[in-house]
Amino acid sequence: MTTVRDYARRRQNLMQHIGDGIAILPSAPVARRNGDVLYRYRPDSDFFYLTGFSEPEAVAVLIPGRAKGEFLIFCRQRNSAEEMWDGHRAGLEGAVKGFNADDAFPMDDIEDILPGLLENRSKVYCNLGRYPDFDEQLLHWLSDVKKRKQSGISAPGELVDLGYILHELRLVKGASEIRAMKKAAAVSVAAHRRAMSRCRPGMFEYEIEAELEYAFRQGGAQYPAYPSIVAGGKNACILHYINNNQRLRRHDLLLIDAGAEIDCYCADITRTFPVSGRFSGRQKALYEIVLAAQLAAIDSVSPGASFIDPHETAVRTITIGLKDLKLLKGSVDSLVEKAAYRKFFTHRTSHWLGLDVHDVGEYRVGEAWRVLEPGMVLTIEPGIYVPQHRSIPEKWHEIGIRIEDDVLVTRQGHEVLTGEAPKDPAAIEALMASGN
Ligand code: GLY
Ligand code: MN
Ligand code: MN
């Protein structure tokens, strides 16, 4: 569990960089699905990281050094009639007592209060562009303050992207975040194991999706971290395939890319396995290349390594493997240099993982790729997707394979958070044969 002290520490870390500025973060608006139907609410990741507050219609304000309080929350007031429809609200008192706000105000009063908070602060730190309606309000409040210059009040002269500071902090995960990510990983592993053991030829992709999402919810996940990809046969070559409505054929592979979200932290796992429970020789030949690339890429994760090392390792291993199968021709060095693998491996090997599936944090620092540090979490997800092309023997056409794990950089090297989901062909076949 993330404690109120953890959140307070995060705010302190951020405020050290803000000086005489002010940070303003709205939570996410409620998203409408259609008519009166709303999506289940999910708070904004930055807002949640700093507050732990998960109600909609809320704004957090951080004002370092302000005598009357540095951390303010604007939120909904208690209202028994509305709470009967939509559930409990913390209210102003709850925001102070439960979330350690120095003060809390009704959202309805933000128009009156916020311009005053901007007075005499040098800069406004915010996520400009994320919520355009809020941006408009903010600009309006700023111009309000500017109008009061004659009374000796100064208005902030700069709008600064909050992400430059905050996303650097989010990139390195703390102990409670790692605990949450391990929980999301464990639930996701259980879901992949369930899907593997329940898969039978003739089932529909959505039946497997149901198995996965049963396990997510059963394990306490609030939602899938992203729409589950359950892609049989050639559908696996569509990277973001989510129709999940085709029948699974005995001789096909099934690619599942699915992860649970728990307390806003995500897992992101891909496994590819034979619908029949037994790999064919051809499937195994390609699969072994992806697996070797993935294992080598994981091995290259350690503090001091570069973010691009796992990708370069995967690229080389895949190039060698494709050359061995005569799907690429030429010297390995020149194939790598020409990026010939891109015909089969069309995406990058890694992204950051955390509160967002494609988590925040820069991948480069200046010109150079980022150096990995303990506490960073990244995915390792090489793949091979053979296109239907006359230059390629037909027997390989439209096979898609990806293997993805979530890897924590540790002081000693790395820890694979999702390793319990089988990926060795023999382990997959054994699990599928045992049926549990
Ligand atoms: N599931 C999205 C990704 O693997 O990046
Ligand atoms: Mn991923
Ligand atoms: Mn994925």
pLDDT per residue as tens digits for the range 84-112: 999 999 999 999 999 999 999 999 999 99
One domain for residues 354 and 364: yes
Active site residue 257: yes
For the chain, what is the mean pLDDT? 97
One domain for residues 126 and 183: no
One domain for residues 205 and 131: no
Q: Which listed residue (249, 347, 348, 397) is catalytic?
A: 347
Q: Which listed residue (381, 405, 406, 429) is catalytic?
A: 381
One domain for residues 118 and 137: yes
Q: Report whether pLDDT(210) > 80.
A: yes
One domain for residues 371 and 233: yes
| Residues measured by CB to lie within 5 Å of ligand 2, the ion | 268, 379
CATH number for the domain harbouring residue 142: 3.40.350.10
Residue 220 φ/ψ region, left for φ over 0, alpha for ψ in the -120 to 50 degree band, beta for the rest = left
Give the contacts of 54 (CB within 8 A, at least 6 positions apart): 41, 43, 48, 264
Least distant ligand from the CA of 272: 3
One domain for residues 179 and 163: no
One domain for residues 158 and 257: no
In this structure, the residue with its CA closest to atom 5 of ligand 1 is 358
Assess contact for 247 and 233: CB atoms under 8 A: no
Boundary-marking domain end, from 143, 170, 197: 170
Boundary-marking domain end, from 149, 170, 191: 170
One domain for residues 177 and 316: yes
One domain for residues 143 and 237: no
One domain for residues 243 and 344: yes
Please state, as a whole number, how many other Cβ atoms lie within 10 Å of the Cβ of residue 151.
7
Which whole number is the average pLDDT over 165-189?
98
Q: Report whether pLDDT(160) > 70.
A: yes
Residue 234: band (very low, low, confident or very high) from pLDDT cuts 50, 70, 90: very high
Residue 318: band (very low, low, confident or very high) from pLDDT cuts 50, 70, 90: very high
User: Closest Cα partner for 48 from 263, 245, 307?
Assistant: 263
Give the contacts of 22 (CB within 8 A, at least 6 positions apart): 61, 62, 63, 117, 118, 121, 123, 124, 125, 156
pLDDT, tens digit (0-9, with 9 covering 90-100), for 376-390:
999 999 999 998 999
Give the range of the structural domain holding residue 383, as residue numbers without chain letter: 172-434
One domain for residues 135 and 228: no
Residue 56: band (very low, low, confident or very high) from pLDDT cuts 50, 70, 90: very high
In this structure, the residue with its CA closest to atom 4 of ligand 1 is 268
One domain for residues 249 and 166: no
> Could you give the number of structural domains in the chain?
2
Boundary-marking domain end, from 170, 199, 232: 170
* pTM for this predicted structure: 0.97
Please state, as a whole number, how many other Cβ atoms lie within 10 Å of the Cβ of residue 223.
16
369 Cα: distance to centroid of ligand 3 (angstroms): 22
Q: Report whether pLDDT(435) > 80.
A: no
379 Cα: distance to centroid of ligand 1 (angstroms): 9
CATH number for the domain harbouring residue 388: 3.90.230.10
User: Closest Cα partner for 65 from 8, 112, 22?
Assistant: 22
Q: Report whether pLDDT(150) > 90.
A: no
Active site residue 411: no
Q: Report whether pLDDT(436) > 70.
A: no
